Amino acid sequence: NNPQRYIDDFIEAGADIITIHYEAERHLDRAISYIKSKGVKAAVALNPATPVETLSCILDQADMFLIMSVNPGFGGQKFIPYTVEKIKKLRKMLDDAGLKTDIQVDGGVTAANVRTLIEAGANVFVAGSAVFKNDAAANTKEFIEIFKEYENR
């Protein structure tokens, strides 16, 4: 509760972007304003079952939106497929508003599904198990090769 109480600590530690979960912050617009007033970028995360339409009032305030594609808590969870539609809806909302805001995806991101996520409109990815399980160098190279396919789009 009250994630705002940690903002200054993260800024002092050197954070250049702070993400707050929509579901955890009652006064989201105030938190976003405070973060940005400190010269730091502000992002808003949504849990898998939270509709993207809840972001409509703050669409132009955040620097990035994070779509959780697993339920927060621990690594290695399986990607929740319906979150792809959420990414598409959010990208359309941003495009319709003339915004180029980043969309990040966290949870179950793999080399096997990252193309789908890119094509849905995401452009920032968090991959833990998909990178560090087995051969991290080979896994990283595979992601880089995929990202190169989309460089000039």
**Beta partners for 25?**
none
- pLDDT tens string 61-105: 999 999 999 998 877 789 999 999 999 999 999 999 999 999 999
Determine the Cα angle at 87 with ends 84 and 91, to 5°. 145
- pLDDT tens string 3-49: 888 999 999 999 999 999 999 998 999 999 999 999 999 999 999 99
Three-state SS for 70? coil
- The predicted structure's pLDDT at residue 134: 92
Per the listing, tokens 């979150």 go with 83
SS3 content of the chain, % helix, strand, coil (to 5): 45, 15, 40
Beta strand segments in the chain, E = 17-21, 41-46, 64-68, 102-106, 124-126
Inform me whether the pLDDT recorded for 139 exceeds 90: yes
- Interval 123-141 mean pLDDT: 94
- The predicted structure's pLDDT at residue 57: 94
Confidence (pTM): 0.93
Inform me whether the pLDDT recorded for 1 exceeds 80: no
At residue 144 the predicted structure's pLDDT band, cuts being 50, 70 and 90, is very high
**Amino acid identity for residue 51 in this structure:** P
Inform me whether the pLDDT recorded for 151 exceeds 80: yes
**Beta partners for 45?**
21, 66
Q: CA 70, CA 46: separation in Å to the nearest integer? A: 10
- The predicted structure's pLDDT at residue 131: 94
